[in-house]
């Protein structure tokens, strides 16, 4: 059981977002869903809150209204094992959203994600400072991280 759980505040898209995320990540599932009743404040039967699991990590979502919005100051960091995994998650999560630089994107709900291959961390921490610098320079030119381009930059 994880002690700290990300809590995501949505205007009214908590259920849609939960189903979207669960459809993308393997080993994921919908958990408990609470719906508004007669007393509101949301429409009767609409989702008030929901819990779900993404690849073994628990999340909680709330339809809290338009009071708060997501900011890139908080992002979901996804550690990827391969270029194929980077490519798949990049395309699925950015659909309807916004692609940015250095592996960052915003999904269609405005939540920021970093889709980062393990190879990037290894390249940036290369014991040869020149290779690490070239990897950083290459990454700064990328939107989606390209492992082959990182390897070429370090050669």
- Give the pLDDT of residue 40: 81
Same-fold call for 1-68 versus 70-155: no
Q: Where are the domains of the chain?
A: 1-68, 70-155
Residues 56-86 have pLDDT tens digits of 999 999 999 999 999 999 999 999 999 999 9
Q: 70-155 belongs to which homologous superfamily?
A: 2,3-Dihydroxybiphenyl 1,2-Dioxygenase, domain 1 (3.10.180.10)
Contact 6, 59 (CB under 8 A): yes
The answer to whether the pTM exceeds 0.75 is yes
- Give the pLDDT of residue 1: 74
Q: In terms of Cα–Cα distance, which of 111, 110, 88, 114 is closest to 101?
A: 114
> Class of 1-68 per CATH?
alpha beta
Contact 35, 47 (CB under 8 A): yes
- Give the pLDDT of residue 72: 95
Q: How many residues does the chain have?
A: 155
Rounded CA-CA distance 14/146 in Å is 32
Contact 24, 56 (CB under 8 A): no
The alpha helices in the chain, defined as continuous H runs, are 14-24, 83-94, 118-124, 129-140, 147-154
Torsion 146-148-149-151 (CA) sign? positive
């Amino acid at each position: 059981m994880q002690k700290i759980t990300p809590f995501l505040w949505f205007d009214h898209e908590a259920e849609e977002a939960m189903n979207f995320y669960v459809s993308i990540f393997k080993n994921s599932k919908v958990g408990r869903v609470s719906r508004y009743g007669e007393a509101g404040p949301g429409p009767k039967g609409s989702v008030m809150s929901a819990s779900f699991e993404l690849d073994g990590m628990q999340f909680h979502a709330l339809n809290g209204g338009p009071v708060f919005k997501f900011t890139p100051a908080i992002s979901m960091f996804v550690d990827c094992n391969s270029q194929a995994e980077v490519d798949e998650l990049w395309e699925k999560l950015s659909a309807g959203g916004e692609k940015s630089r250095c592996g960052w994107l915003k999904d269609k709900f405005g939540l920021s994600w970093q889709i980062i291959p393990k190879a990037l961390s290894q390249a940036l921490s290369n014991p040869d400072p020149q290779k690490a610098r070239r990897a950083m320079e290459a990454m700064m030119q990328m939107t989606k991280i390209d492992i082959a381009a990182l390897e070429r930059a370090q050669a």
